[in-house]
Structure formats: structure tokens, C-alpha cells
């Protein structure tokens, strides 16, 4: 399938994709705040600059886009049909970096929680995931909910 956009237009469009303040991240932030949870944003001193940091619970939250971070079995995790090698390398690099960051954070004593973009639409699931942040000893260093 041929890309319907010119390379210049595609480049411009992709340059508009942001990593902070996305709709899924804002949804998680609003929900956490409504639950009375207080957090810090994008702490530069932690690997991967987690989207939300809950120092009190020694837990970090990454809000991952399903497309960019390759959420398995998610309909949003499609692959472009053009420049296949480029995209495979890009996605592989993202997934490897996510794993490295999670491992380093766990080594530093932080619990790591991943909330996927598609999960932010289910407010009950989102509440359960955020409630798991407050659970002491809730599954060790990695909660297994992602």
C-alpha cells in the first residue's frame, strides 16, 4: 500500500506526536488526582523519565501509547506497510529501551506500572491499576498488571 501523504507532510505530521501531556497521560493524571493520589511528573533523575512518580509508594507509572510501545494483541498496535525495516527497528528500539528502564528502576527499588493507552478508556480498570499503586507489597517490584 502506498502512503497517501507526501514525505514532507508525513514528516510534519509525525513531528506533532508528543511524549508528554498526551490525552491518555492526562486521563491517568486526572484519575489519580481524583483518587487523592499525589505524584510528580517526568522526574529527570529516574531512568525513562516516568510519566508519574509516586514517591510515597516508591512506584512509577509509564503511560504507553499502544502503537509506539507495541502493546501486544491491541488493535492500535498496527505496523505501517511502507518502510517496514525502519519501523521494525524503531519499534524494537522502543521496546528494548522500555525494558532497560524498567529493569533499572526495579534495581533502584522502584515498582514499575505500565498503563496502556487503550486501558485509559476503561475507567474501572484504570482505577484498579491506580489502586494497586497504594498496595504495600502488591506483587513485588513489578506488578504484573501490564
Say which CATH class 21-134 falls into: alpha beta
Which residues is 52 bridged to in the sheet? 41, 61
Question: Using alpha carbons only, what angle is made at residue 136 by residues 130 and 141, rounded to the nearest 5 degrees?
Answer: 80
Contacts of 49 (CB under 8 A, 6+ apart): 42, 43
Confidence of residue 18 (pLDDT cuts 50, 70, 90): low
Domain boundaries, given as residue ranges, for the chain: 21-134
Q: Are 51 and 125 in contact (CB under 8 A)?
A: no
The answer, yes or no, to whether residue 125 has pLDDT greater than 50, is yes
- Give the pLDDT confidence of 32-42 residue by residue, as tens digits: 999 999 999 99
Amino acid at each position: 500500500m502506498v502512503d497517501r501523504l507526501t514525505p514532507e507532510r508525513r514528516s510534519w505530521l509525525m513531528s506533532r506526536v508528543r511524549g508528554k501531556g498526551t490525552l491518555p497521560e492526562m486521563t491517568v493524571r486526572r484519575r489519580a488526582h481524583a483518587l487523592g493520589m499525589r505524584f510528580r511528573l517526568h522526574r529527570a533523575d529516574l531512568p525513562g523519565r516516568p510519566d508519574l512518580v509516586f514517591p510515597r509508594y516508591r512506584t512509577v507509572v509509564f503511560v504507553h501509547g499502544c502503537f509506539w510501545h507495541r502493546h501486544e494483541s491491541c488493535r492500535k498496535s498496527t505496523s505501517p506497510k511502507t518502510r517496514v525495516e525502519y519501523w521494525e527497528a524503531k519499534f524494537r528500539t522502543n521496546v528494548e529501551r522500555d525494558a532497560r528502564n524498567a529493569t533499572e528502576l526495579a534495581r533502584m527499588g522502584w515498582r514499575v506500572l505500565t498503563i496502556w493507552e487503550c486501558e485509559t478508556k476503561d475507567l474501572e480498570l484504570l482505577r484498579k491499576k491506580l489502586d494497586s499503586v497504594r498496595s504495600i507489597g502488591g506483587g513485588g517490584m513489578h506488578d504484573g498488571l501490564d
